[in-house]
């Protein structure tokens, strides 16, 4: 099985698991279905379904972004070798996003090119929404510039990079400059790409900057007629686009399906987070009740129980059951194993506070056992000491449980995406396994 097939399989499993969790299993929880909640999570369930469809239909979406008149439409036309989109010198030729299908020669995946209006053409808020929606949809992005990068372009690139999208920076219209100027701008772009880093990733890797002339200006040539007369004529030149086309073909061939997977998983992660957040908000009152119930159980149990180490076992069990009960209330997927992992994670991230509870529990608990034994035999007055130890220990335990409850809520809110098949994990796997010379690998964040 190829690496891409493995990615496809993992992604499919992750999405199917999420869908079955959030659609069917939710109905069987102890809590009655809540119509209000079902209505608000509907779009997120739909998003999960469409993510699954996306990986099955094998169409890679490539969007062209850039400021007005940089040649976005011309670049797509040149890539597919047909003048599909209007392209012209007036600013704002393309008014609305438009797309065209293309079947690349090697035919492994299909492509949908999305042409967009200039980022500086449409008004502020509307532009932002349009750009974000298209960027979310796209599997990778061609960012077209035609001279030194401007501030607006730089900021747009940063935004896109944050959205975790592979980007090819296309330096278009190189026919307008002498070679040495093209080289100087190119070097400048490399420097900018390297210097600004977001989360340890460079903005644009050197290998992802490509020089093209999608629609070169006609050049004047001198024609000598047989009668000896000469005349200047304009001759069109063919586009210089092969380097970009080859680069795209290599990406499609090498990592096209993995790119589809990554995008689908990112969508799924977002949808799962939304579902978790909406559910937790919706079930807030019941959750508080559950947490307090466990706080009471645990403090009482720990205080009354005379055998030291049993406190710790029973206490941990209470915490685990609390985590499971919260997950159940929310209808969020969590296995015993994951509940245990989450519990340990909370203990560690509480910075020793809760571990302190356990250690104190152990010491106080052992003391308590000794006291309990001796008190019956010797001195009845010692029971007072027993009482205060118990209260101290019970109080600590209660506080610990309250914190666990709150922290569990916070973790669950992040969408349970940590399991082995959770989207976060699968995304991480894909990025870690992939060849180092791929555009996906360059997305990784060094941890």
Ligand X SMILES: Nc1nc2c(ncn2[C@@H]2O[C@H](COP(=O)(O)OP(=O)(O)OP(=O)(O)O)[C@@H](O)[C@H]2O)c(=O)[nH]1
What residue ranges bind Mg ion (CB under 5 A)?
72-73, 93-94
- Interatomic CA distance for residues 189 and 154, integer angstroms: 11
- Interatomic CA distance for residues 100 and 396, integer angstroms: 64
Task: State which residue, 75 or 431, has the beta carbon closest to ligand X.
Answer: 75
Task: State which residue, 96 or 234, has the beta carbon closest to Mg ion.
Answer: 96
Residue, CB closest to Mg ion: 94
Nearest by Cα to 74 from 223, 239, 205, 184: 239
- 279 in contact with ligand X (CB under 6 A): no
Lay out the site mask for ligand X across 218-257 (x = CB under 6 A, - = otherwise).
Answer: ----------------------------------------
Q: How far is the CB of 113 from ligand X (least distance, A)?
A: 12
Q: How far is the CB of 119 from ligand X (least distance, A)?
A: 9
- 89 in contact with ligand X (CB under 6 A): yes
Lay out the site mask for ligand X across 163-182 (x = CB under 6 A, - = otherwise).
Answer: ---------xx-xx------
List helix spans (H) across 138-197. 151-162, 179-195
Q: Which residue has the tokens 């190119």?
A: 186
Task: State which residue, 93 or 262, has the beta carbon closest to Mg ion.
Answer: 93
- Interatomic CA distance for residues 340 and 357, integer angstroms: 17
Nearest by Cα to 345 from 403, 294, 270: 403
Window of 86-94, 125-133, 314-322, 359-367 that interacts with ligand X by CB under 6 A: 86-94
What are the φ/ψ torsions at residue 219 (nearest 5 degrees)?
Answer: -110, 145
> Contact with ligand X (CB under 6 A): which of 104, 118, 365, 422?
118
Q: Which residues, other chains included, contact 176 with Cβ-Cβ below 8 Å and sequence gap of 6+? A: 146, 217
Q: Are residues 144 and 70 in contact, defined by beta-carbon separation less than 8 angstroms?
A: yes
What are the φ/ψ torsions at residue 264 (nearest 5 degrees)?
Answer: -65, -40
Task: State which residue, 171 or 294, has the beta carbon closest to Mg ion.
Answer: 171
Q: Are residues 208 and 437 in contact, defined by beta-carbon separation less than 8 angstroms?
A: no
Window of 63-71, 96-104, 353-361, 404-412 that interacts with ligand X by CB under 6 A: 63-71
Q: How far is the CB of 109 from ligand X (least distance, A)?
A: 25
Task: State which residue, 99 or 299, has the beta carbon closest to Mg ion.
Answer: 99
Angle 211-244-439 (CA atoms, 0-180°, nearest 5)? 105
Element (H, E) at 103: none
Listed in order, strand segments (DSSP E) in 31-152 are 59-66, 98-102, 110-115, 140-145
3-class SS string, 227-241? CCCEEEEEECCCCEC
* Coil/strand/helix, residue 41: helix
The one of Mg ion, ligand X, none whose footprint includes residue 137, by CB under 5 to 8 A per kind, is: none
Task: State which residue, 93 or 185, has the beta carbon closest to Mg ion.
Answer: 93
The one of ligand X, Mg ion, none whose footprint includes residue 69, by CB under 5 to 8 A per kind, is: ligand X
- 152 in contact with ligand X (CB under 6 A): no
The one of ligand X, Mg ion, none whose footprint includes residue 32, by CB under 5 to 8 A per kind, is: none
> Contact with ligand X (CB under 6 A): which of 214, 398, 403, 431?
214
Q: How far is the CB of 64 from Mg ion (least distance, A)?
A: 8
- The CA-atom distances, in angstroms, between 302 and each of 284, 316, 321, 366 are 27, 11, 16, 12
Task: State which residue, 68 or 163, has the beta carbon closest to ligand X.
Answer: 68
> Contact with ligand X (CB under 6 A): which of 11, 87, 389, 417?
87
Token representation of residue 146: 């035609």
The interface with ligand X within residues 66-85 (CB under 6 A) comprises 66, 68-74
Q: Which residue has the tokens 């070679």?
A: 179
- 215 in contact with ligand X (CB under 6 A): yes
Lay out the site mask for ligand X across 281-320 (x = CB under 6 A, - = otherwise).
Answer: ----------------------------------------
Q: How far is the CB of 187 from ligand X (least distance, A)?
A: 20
Task: State which residue, 72 or 283, has the beta carbon closest to ligand X.
Answer: 72
According to DSSP, residue 393 is labeled: H
Q: How far is the CB of 196 from ligand X (least distance, A)?
A: 24
Beta bridge partners of 66: 144
Q: Which residues, other chains included, contact 65 with Cβ-Cβ below 8 Å and sequence gap of 6+? A: 72, 116, 119, 131, 134, 135, 141, 142, 143, 144, 156, 160
Token representation of residue 63: 């969007």
Q: How far is the CB of 128 from Mg ion (least distance, A)?
A: 19
Applying CB under 6 A, the residues found at the interface with ligand X are: 66, 68-74, 87-89, 91-94, 117-118, 121, 172-173, 175-176, 213-217
């Amino acid at each position: 099985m190829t690496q891409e097939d493995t990615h496809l399989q993992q992604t499919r499993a992750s999405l199917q698991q999420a869908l079955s969790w959030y659609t069917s299993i939710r109905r069987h929880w102890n809590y009655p279905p809540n119509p209000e909640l079902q209505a608000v999570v509907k779009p997120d369930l739909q998003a999960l379904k469409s993510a699954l469809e996306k990986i099955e239909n094998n169409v890679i979406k490539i969007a062209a972004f850039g400021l007005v008149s940089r040649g976005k439409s011309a670049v797509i036309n040149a890539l597919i070798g047909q003048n599909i989109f209007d392209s012209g010198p007036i600013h704002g030729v393309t008014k609305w996003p438009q797309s065209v299908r293309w079947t690349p020669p090697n035919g492994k995946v299909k492509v949908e090119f999305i042409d967009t209006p200039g980022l500086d053409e449409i008004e502020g808020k509307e532009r932002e929404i349009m750009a974000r929606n298209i960027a979310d949809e796209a599997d990778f992005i061609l960012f077209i510039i035609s001279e030194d990068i401007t501030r607006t372009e730089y900021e747009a690139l940063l935004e896109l990079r944050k959205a975790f999208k592979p980007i090819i920076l296309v330096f278009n219209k190189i026919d307008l400059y002498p070679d040495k100027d093209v080289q100087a701008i190119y070097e400048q772009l490399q420097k900018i790409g390297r210097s600004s880093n977001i989360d340890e990733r460079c903005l644009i890797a050197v290998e992802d900057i490509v020089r093209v002339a999608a629609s070169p200006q006609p050049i004047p040539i001198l024609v000598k007629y047989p009668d000896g007369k000469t005349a200047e004529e304009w001759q069109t030149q063919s586009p210089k686009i092969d380097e970009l086309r080859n680069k795209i073909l290599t990406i499609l061939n090498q990592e096209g399906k993995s790119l589809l997977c990554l995008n689908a998983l990112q969508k799924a992660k977002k949808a799962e987070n939304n579902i978790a957040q909406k559910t937790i908000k919706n079930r807030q009152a019941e959750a508080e009740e559950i947490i307090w119930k466990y706080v009471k159980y645990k403090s009482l149990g720990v205080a009354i129980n005379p055998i030291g180490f049993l406190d710790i076992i029973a206490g941990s069990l209470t915490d685990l059951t609390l985590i499971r009960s919260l997950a159940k209330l929310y209808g969020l997927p969590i296995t015993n194993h994951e509940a245990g992992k989450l519990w340990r994670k909370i203990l560690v991230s509480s910075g020793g506070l809760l571990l302190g509870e356990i250690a104190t529990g152990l010491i106080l608990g052992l003391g308590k056992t000794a006291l309990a034994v001796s008190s019956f035999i010797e001195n009845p007055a010692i029971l007072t000491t027993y009482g205060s130890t118990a209260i101290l220990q019970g109080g600590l335990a209660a506080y610990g449980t309250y914190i666990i409850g709150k922290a569990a809520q916070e973790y669950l809110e992040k969408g349970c995406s940590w399991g082995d098949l959770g989207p976060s994990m699968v995304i991480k796997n894909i990025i870690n396994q992939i060849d180092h010379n791929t555009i996906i690998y360059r997305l990784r964040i060094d941890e």
